[in-house]
Amino acid sequence: MTDIRRNVPVLEQLAVLKRGVVDLVTEEDLKTKLERGTPLRVKLGADPTRPDLHLGHAVILRKMRQFQDLGHKVIMLIGDFTAMIGDPSGKSKTRPPLTLEETRANAVSYLEQCKLVLRSDPEVLEVRFNGEWLEPMGYADIIRLASKYTVARILERDDFTKRLAAGTPVQMHELLYPLTQGYDSVALEADVELGGTDQLFNNLVGRALQRDYGQAAQVVMTLPLLVGLDGVEKMSKSLDNYIGLTDEAHEMFAKLMKVPDTLLLNYFTLLTDLSEARIEELLAGHPVTAHRELARAVTAWLHPEADLDAAEERYKAVAKGGIPENIPSVTVPTEELNADGVVGLFRLVALAGLEPSNGAARKLIQNRGLKVNGEAATDPQTAVTIPAEGLVLQKGKDKFVRLLPAT
């Protein structure tokens, strides 16, 4: 890990920090804060209801890391208290209430994943929970907080405007959440708040509230929402167009090789340190070369220990329809075999962990999603004998498991 660079000239810091940024409110304020010469407090709000991070999150975490590399302190704010409340009206599926245990477990997993990108030493990483200041707040405190902001400004938020216009109910408490989130910035005395472009409004509330509470207003910096592998929608786990932060190196490499050409510039800018000149050069050349460079850079970043050549070899073998060398193996227990020493193919798929149940395994085969030793399977009931050298099951393009007989 490289050392933290301190006292980097302000203009040089600005050049690094502005890369890939969409909104910067305001550059002037950021400059003034950097000129102060003391470390900035850089806030990122984490949603502990969604603990699975992907490259979309990594875009923002990279920016946080850039702040750390320049000696600034990043603050991961876990909304534990708000997560416990969730949406008490029960109308939002995106905000189911969590128990304190769930929230804490999610927070631990969230932070672990963040540390794949962030420096974890306490000088540049602070983790806070908003229950710290929300739990003791009373009615009078909330009235005082709410008095700082006008209804008109809250309703300017795009989704509120649209829902009210469409006659879709907006519950009163939803209006309080942006204020709460803004108050978090007051409590943390944040100098900068980072977020996706969808957080611009909320983070500007924080900026305004800090002024009302007599603090210097935080700089609001937004980064693009990364488009997923489908080339259309924002990367998200539920759309299955994502590359997980904890995906294995070979998986990550293979997925990156499939990024749509139109997104290459975006991915290079947001997920690598390649210079603009180099990116331009790559985009002008053959797309496979560009993809290869992207896949190597991102995989090396998130898996510093990985053997990139092996990952690439494996990708090529699979692309040609071959079977890669290092694949996981599962031994089939003898009690799974029937009197003739055979077992149903669907059962092997389930035992291999390629599908969660026998039913799902049957469906996979019926849908032509499985190969056995490279040949497409058609009948879930096929009786299979497992040879001593094993049998390779392949689900889709890149999921392989070798089944071995019990000895």
* Binding annotation for ATP: 237
**143 touches a copy of itself by CB under 8 A:** yes
How far apart CA 400 and CA 329 sit, in angstroms, is 9
Largest CA distance in the chain: 81
- CB under 8 A, 24+ apart: contacts of 94-97: 94/49, 95/49, 96/49
Nearer to a copy of itself, 37 or 138 (CB): 138
DSSP assignment of 343-386: EEHHHHHHHTTSSSSHHHHHHHHHTT-EEETTEE---TT-EE--
Nearer to a copy of itself, 177 or 301 (CB): 177
Residues between 179 and 198 that touch a copy of itself (CB under 8 A): 179-180
Nearer to a copy of itself, 135 or 273 (CB): 135
**208 touches a copy of itself by CB under 8 A:** no
- CB within 8 Å of 250: residues ≥ 6 apart: 310, 311, 314, 315, 324, 398
Q: Which amino acid is at 162?
A: K
Whole-number minimum distance, CB 94 to a copy of itself, in Å?
A: 15
Segment lying near a copy of itself (by CB under 8 A), choices 49-57, 120-128, 162-170, 227-235 = 162-170
Distances (CA, A) of 310 to 184, 251, 253, 298, 400: 46, 12, 10, 15, 16
In degrees and rounded to multiples of 5, residue 253 shows phi and psi of -60, -50
Q: Which amino acid is at 372?
A: V
**99 touches a copy of itself by CB under 8 A:** no
Whole-number minimum distance, CB 188 to a copy of itself, in Å?
A: 17
Whole-number minimum distance, CB 121 to a copy of itself, in Å?
A: 33
Nearer to a copy of itself, 8 or 170 (CB): 170
**16 touches a copy of itself by CB under 8 A:** no
How far apart CA 166 and CA 335 sit, in angstroms, is 60
- CA 380 from chain center: how many Å? 36
**148 touches a copy of itself by CB under 8 A:** yes
How far apart CA 174 and CA 152 sit, in angstroms, is 14
**175 touches a copy of itself by CB under 8 A:** yes
**161 touches a copy of itself by CB under 8 A:** no
Whole-number minimum distance, CB 148 to a copy of itself, in Å?
A: 7
Structure tokens at 318: 């699979």
Task: Say if CB 368 and CB 385 are below 8 A apart.
Answer: no
Reduced to 3 states (helix: H, G, I; strand: E, B; else coil), residue 248 is: coil
> Which member of 176, 306, 308, 327 binds a copy of itself (CB under 8 A)?
176
Task: Say if CB 94 and CB 74 are below 8 A apart.
Answer: no
Nearer to a copy of itself, 42 or 78 (CB): 78
Bin 70: left if φ > 0, else alpha if -120 < ψ < 50, else beta: alpha
> Which member of 15, 100, 108, 164 binds a copy of itself (CB under 8 A)?
164
| Residue carrying structure tokens 């340190």 | 273
Segment lying near a copy of itself (by CB under 8 A), choices 85-93, 258-266, 370-378, 388-396 = 85-93
**4 touches a copy of itself by CB under 8 A:** no
Segment lying near a copy of itself (by CB under 8 A), choices 161-169, 247-255, 369-377, 390-398 = 161-169
**94 touches a copy of itself by CB under 8 A:** no
Segment lying near a copy of itself (by CB under 8 A), choices 33-41, 84-92, 219-227, 394-402 = 84-92
Considering CB under 8 A, how many residues would be counted as binding a copy of itself? 39
Whole-number minimum distance, CB 50 to a copy of itself, in Å?
A: 20
Task: Say if CB 73 and CB 123 are below 8 A apart.
Answer: yes
**169 touches a copy of itself by CB under 8 A:** yes
- By CB under 8 A, name the binding residues for a copy of itself: 81, 84-85, 87-89, 134-140, 142-152, 154-155, 160, 164, 167, 169-176, 179-180
